[in-house]
Amino acid sequence: MSKQKPTIFEGAATAIITPFQNGVMDFDAMGAHIEQQIAAGIDALVIAGTTGEASTLSHEEHCDLLRFAAEKIDGRVPIIAGTGSNDTAYGIELSRYACDVGYDALLIVTPYYNKATPKGLIRNFLDTADATNKPIILYNVPSRTGVNIPLSVYREVAKHERIVAVKEASGNLSAIAQLFDECGDMLDIYSGNDDQIVPIMALGGKGVISVVSNILPRETHDLCAACLAGDFKTGAEMQLKYLKLINALFCEVNPVPVKTAAGLLGLCNGELRLPLCEMEDANREKLIGVMRAYGLI
């Protein structure tokens, strides 16, 4: 059976950082970063995801950020709102707001900390889909949530017309291959890890929701474009070319290194919100060295 659901985007979507200035959101820096991303050819933007430090935003800040970005982007590329929560009712509230202000899709992370059972996961995802009117991308990142989405859950929720895709950041390529085999006719699959873009696209993935594209938007777009064109040799060469930078951007928990790198590039001041804080000196020097080796600074 061929997939009848909409494809939200193909290529590279940036999970964009949220700049702060003296503890509050820096909309000037955010707007400039959005403009640079679009000018570089990025295929879509994710607002208020993990990389955007959404878990530290108040409700008012989360809504203000979603509204600002939607108005700034103004339909130029698909926009996806990170609105998942470990409280299903609150996640639905945020999701409805994102729908109201013009988002093309919702990114719904597996509820973190609660460690829901498969039945609870199914109810969380289906209740959210029933309560909203935009396509949903599920976000599987067990290293951060403590729960992996099992195939039994994917099979069940894939039946819903508005659950259309998955951001897979489990890192388990064998399990992801099984997901393609069993649900690939009902769900688009995106890499959630920058070091696995080519393997996942070679299996049939539509692209990546990326961290490194905050720093290299054009290159990440081009890597995905090569894979979409069937040129996996070029894609693999690019994947390996940027592997040291990708690894450096994950030498501490995301988004600490990428926010630091963005600060070094003048995209923002690098400010983070507790409990995230500045990099360890040794890791910062390592990141600087890698960025210099790539000619970024």
64's enclosing H/E stretch is: helix 59-73
In degrees rounded to 5, what are phi and psi of residue 68?
Answer: -60, -50
* pLDDT, tens digit, 9 for 90 and up, residues 127-173: 999 999 999 999 999 999 999 999 999 999 999 999 999 999 999 99
Q: What is the CATH number of domain 11-229?
A: 3.20.20.70
* pLDDT, tens digit, 9 for 90 and up, residues 37-85: 999 999 999 999 999 999 999 999 999 999 999 999 999 999 999 999 9
pLDDT value for 296: 96
* pLDDT, tens digit, 9 for 90 and up, residues 176-225: 999 999 999 999 999 999 999 999 999 999 999 999 999 999 999 999 99
Is 5 a residue of the active site? no
Catalytic residue among 103, 139, 154, 242: 139
Q: Where are the domains of the chain?
A: 11-229
Catalytic residue among 134, 167, 206, 259: 167
pTM beyond 0.75: the answer is yes
Is 167 a residue of the active site? yes
Residues 6 or more apart in contact with residue 176 via CB below 8 angstroms: 168, 170, 189, 200, 203
